[in-house]
Structure 1
Amino acid sequence: MTRTNTRLSGEILKLAKNVQDLASAFNGNVHSILRQQRDDREQLHKFYGNMEKALAGLLTRLD
């Protein structure tokens, strides 16, 4: 293998490692966003559930 090929192979390996690192970071970010969305949905569900109970209690008192 010539020195140019050896150098290019090394550069390609560095680039491949950088792409792998970027893909891993992106994957981690996606998982973090999905986790946050799930948590947000759970919080909204709890909020509306509590709101429903509070309104039901208010309606009961008004009767």
Structure 2
Amino acid sequence: MTPALPDFVDDLSLPIEARRARWDEWMVLYEQGVAVLEASGIDPVEAGYRIPDMPFDGTDV
């Protein structure tokens, strides 16, 4: 039995539609995080080390 991958890993065995749905969900959370930073008076660019890198950029399609 193969253990489940952690959430931050882009599971390449999933169909592209499922991976795209995960990416879309992640982007909503990312944008909400940016909004929280801005509402707190924190520049998201300056706080970039607090925001994780994008897990899927579409280059492997």
Output the TM-score relative to the length of structure 2: 0.43
Query: Which structure carries more relative contact order (alpha carbon 8 Å, separation 6+)?
Result: 2
Output the TM-score relative to the length of structure 1: 0.42
